Structure 1
Amino acid sequence: MRPALATVLPPLQAPRLLDQVRERVRYLHYSRRTEQAYVHWCKSFIRFHGLRHPRDMGAPEVQAFLTWLADERQLASSTHKQALSALVFLYTKVLQLGLPWVAELERPRVRRRLPVVLSRDEVTVVLTGMQGVHALLARLLYGTGMRINEALQLRVKDVDFSHQALIVREGKGGKDRVLMLPQTLVQPLRDQLAQAKLLWAEDAAQQRGGVELPYALERKYPQASTSWVWFWVFPQATHSTDPRSGVVRRHHLYDQTFQRAFKRAVMAAGIAKPATPHTLRHAFATHLLQDGYDIRTVQDLLGHADVATTMIYTHVLKLGGGAVRSPLDRLDPT
């Protein structure tokens, strides 16, 4: 007997299983990255079991796949958890099977790790070593604590110079939040918008397809995608094909391009830490706490749903023994 969930979700139209996964993800308004991850793990699960259909498999096959990921592939617990979430989604939301064993699957325990944090001097050296729009983007990440995708997806309308604010739309968890606009970035952002407007005008003159809009806004407001207010703050220099609609339009900067530029700057600075662009977000939070801002303020700026997530940065502040002097330093050097 199918659960009540089957009466809530509409019937799927796609004939192929992986396309059904995509269809259901989009119906539930999950992010594009979630769609890519779920499709990847469902495909891996099917290939692991010799292309058998998931409907013909059950708890033993799921557990065997997860065990292989943990033992043979040695995946991190967070990645292991993502694979499990994808399979639970497949069975409950796509196949809509009332299987009691789905709820009984053992969830991998995610261990909290101390984040990599750059010192203020290290941040200064890295930012100095970056050029052009990548330098501005890096300063924006450190100056506001935004995630890289939140910064890349900024629209013109989300920059409020009059209120010295930046608005993050549809951040992690689908939440909006307001961030301060660093004073030192006001003029660089104005210059960046001036450059972006040249690309927007070029697209308008060539009657390009505009930019991608969230949900059904493109149908509701047909002219919005080609308007200046919806244009990207950090547009890509070239056009690309939208993988969902097939429309050739201008995308925002690719995160991989920025990640490579950031990695080069870290290596050139001689910093022996596994720093990534997300490390700038860690540095933002840690340095605010060092400046005396309270944990709740930092939580709001980062967009954390639970203050426990933000508390991890208080542990970073304790590195070095919490100002305890080592007994070695008290020994007579002679």
Structure 2
Amino acid sequence: MDQVSTVCRRRHLSRRTEEAYRFWIRHYILFHQKQHPRAVGTAGITPFVNYLATARQVAASTQSQALNAVLFLYRDVLEVEVGHLAGLRRVQRRSRLPVVLAHEEVRDVLAGMHGTSRLIAELLYGAGLRITECMTLRVKDLDFRAGTINVRAGKGGKDRGSVLPERLAHPLQQHLVRVAALHKRDLAHGRGFAPLPDALHRKYLNATRSLAWQFVFPSRVTRACPQTSRILRWHASESSVQTAFKLALGDVGIHKHASVHTLRHSFATHLLAEGTDIRTIQLLLGHRNLKTTMIYTHVHQAIRRTVSPLDRL
């Protein structure tokens, strides 16, 4: 598994991709009674993937992720040519509409949240961010004068910009005052280090202790870096926001199968309903393909006010 992590980092894959690949490679090895993948050979790929489709009944995206993980293991880690996989049973991908909250539902859920969790949820809805993108924001990524947010290394390793809601400018500035005070206390105790991407800690020696590189939503605890033994302050956990959002949904009586990612869907759908150009929404969301963004046109058509024939009786 250490070799898998090494190749993932050499390829600059995201932390989540690395975790997913390690998870499925571990399951692949267990499926073949802990035999080494090189001993199993590429002939073991098809039975494993078909097992996921039939016995485990996983979704199409889950099966694709598992297949990509095993292909990565053979092609990139073990450097074994895979070739054609005969007899592969792929799960049919279903077309699903994303869950969207109405304006009033978003307002009620946000009103039911408090503190930093509410500020994060407001930022997810106000800027259309993914939860990971929001939690990994650095202080330098917020441009209050321009009213923009710079998302670094988002999904697919892409940078993009999004709008910084005027309504959040003052609350965020107040929040950053508390972040700066926390960082000052860390510095006073000989700490104040933030983890930097790639090898920037060697290129910019002082950046790791600067306020600009601290996370906007820092963790309450610090942890030692395995490589440098420095005491680092990472970003806060995503689960705290997810839990607070779920509790707020129940408190206000909304029974939709929603998560914090629903706020991003709602951001796009509400912008479209207000007449924002679909291309602009694509840029704000960071979608590579316009077809991905077009799903929100179907959501808008599905939730627009249509008079039922029953109401005309």
Give the CA deviation at 1:240. Answer: 2.4
Match of 2:284 in 1: 301
Match of 1:132 in 2: 115
Match of 2:135 in 1: 152
Change (3 A) 1:159 1:123: same
Change (3 A) 1:248 1:109: farther
In structure 2, which of residues 251, 258, 269 is the aligned counterpart of residue 275 of structure 1?
258
Per the alignment, in what secondary structure is the counterpart of residue 319 of structure 1?
helix
* Distance of 2:61 and 2:19 partners within structure 1: 16
Alignment of 1:147-186 (within 5 A): 147-186=130-169
In structure 2, which of residues 179, 194, 219 is the aligned counterpart of residue 236 of structure 1?
219
Alignment of 1:184-199 (within 5 A): 184-199=167-182
Match of 2:189 in 1: 206
Give the CA deviation at 1:181. Answer: 1.1
Which deviates more, 213-222 or 59-68?
A: 59-68
Change (3 A) 1:235 1:312: same
Give the CA deviation at 1:246. Answer: 5.3
In structure 1, which of residues 84, 87, 90 is the aligned counterpart of residue 67 of structure 2?
84
Match of 1:329 in 2: 311
Which deviates more, 204-213 or 36-45?
A: 204-213
| 8 A Cα contact 1:158 1:166, kept in partner | yes
Change (3 A) 1:44 1:244: farther
Which deviates more, 243-252 or 185-194?
A: 243-252
Identity of paired residues, percent? 48
Match of 1:30 in 2: 13
| 8 A Cα contact 1:296 1:307, kept in partner | yes
* Distance of 1:149 and 1:270 partners within structure 2: 27
* Distance of 1:317 and 1:99 partners within structure 2: 43
Give 5+ residue unaligned stretches, structure 1: 1-17
Q: Is 1:71 aligned with 2:71?
A: no
| 8 A Cα contact 1:262 1:277, kept in partner | yes
Change (3 A) 1:81 1:243: farther
Give the CA deviation at 1:324. Answer: 5.0
Match of 1:218 in 2: 201
Per the alignment, in what secondary structure is the counterpart of residue 199 of structure 1?
helix
| 8 A Cα contact 2:139 2:212, kept in partner | yes
**How large is the RMSD of aligned CA atoms in angstroms?**
1.8
How many pairs align? 313
| 8 A Cα contact 1:22 1:35, kept in partner | yes
Give the CA deviation at 1:67. Answer: 1.7
TM-score (norm 2): 0.95
Give 5+ residue unaligned stretches, structure 2: none
* Distance of 1:112 and 1:67 partners within structure 2: 21
- Which residue type is aligned with residue 167 of structure 1? N
Match of 1:7 in 2: none
- Which residue type is aligned with residue 329 of structure 1? D
In structure 2, which of residues 214, 234, 241 is the aligned counterpart of residue 251 of structure 1?
234
TM-score (norm 1): 0.89
